[in-house]
Amino acid sequence: MSLRLGDIAPDFTADTTQGKINFHEWLGDSWGMLFSHPADFTPVCTTELGKTALLKGEFEKRGVKTIAVSVDDLESHNKWIPDIEEVNGVTMNFPIIADEDRKVAELYDMIHPNASAKATVRSVFIIGPDKTIKLMLTYPASTGRNFTELLRVIDSLQLTANHSVATPADWKDGDDAIVIPTISTEDAIKKFPKGVKEVKPYLRYTPQPNK
């Protein structure tokens, strides 16, 4: 059965470019981003891994550990890393899982036979400190991911996990949030001292609570 939002992220033990890990132990109390790549020495993946390394500080600021997975072996990963570093002007600073037996890819349903019988599609899983899956995104192998959007999504997930709000279309960190429908306007005014703006009885905005 395929994974759904709210499911516990499957645990596994695997070799990585930074040593052997148990996934849940490696995550600890952090948020995590697990993302897959069709294969080593592929052009789009080279740019994506470099971008993730460049954004390490942004992920750390949000308490997020990043880890990639590809169905190639550890030797292949280690040969590929110098290319990633050279092309992107960065030092690889997060692990790549060696998944030549496709154990992780199958646990997370990363191989879609209609797209490829062997290679993973570009899947992204954002996992909370409670080890549950908070977000899943799947791109075709031909389309590189938007890492600014992934950071934006993490900001929204972390805000809405801790406050009784949702985020509107195109929301970004610092924008007004939406009061969730289960809170009455009367209670919302007490709960959100920065103010509540009612557009419709079911659509109320409040300044971002954690700013």
Q: Domain 163-206: give its CATH superfamily.
A: Antioxidant, Horf6; Chain A, domain2 (3.30.1020.10)
Residue pLDDT tens, the chain, 211 long = 489 999 999 999 999 999 999 999 999 999 999 999 888 999 999 999 999 999 999 999 999 999 999 989 999 999 999 999 999 999 999 999 999 998 998 899 887 665 554 556 689 999 999 999 999 998 888 899 999 999 999 999 999 999 999 999 999 999 999 999 999 999 999 999 999 999 999 999 999 999 8
DSSP states of 104-140: HHHHTT---TTT-SSS--EEEEEE-TTSBEEEEEEE-
Q: Which helix (H) or strand (E) holds 50?
A: helix 43-54
Q: Are residues 126 and 31 in contact, defined by beta-carbon separation less than 8 angstroms?
A: yes
Q: What are the domain boundaries of the chain?
A: 13-144, 163-206
Q: Which residues partner with 178 through β-bridges? A: 166, 205
Q: Are strands 203-206 and 19-22 parallel, antiparallel or unpaired?
A: unpaired
* Number of DSSP helices (H) and strands (E) in the chain, helices first: 7, 11
Q: Which of 45, 133, 157, 177 is catalytic?
A: 45
58 assigned to active site: no
Fold of 13-144: Glutaredoxin (3.40.30)
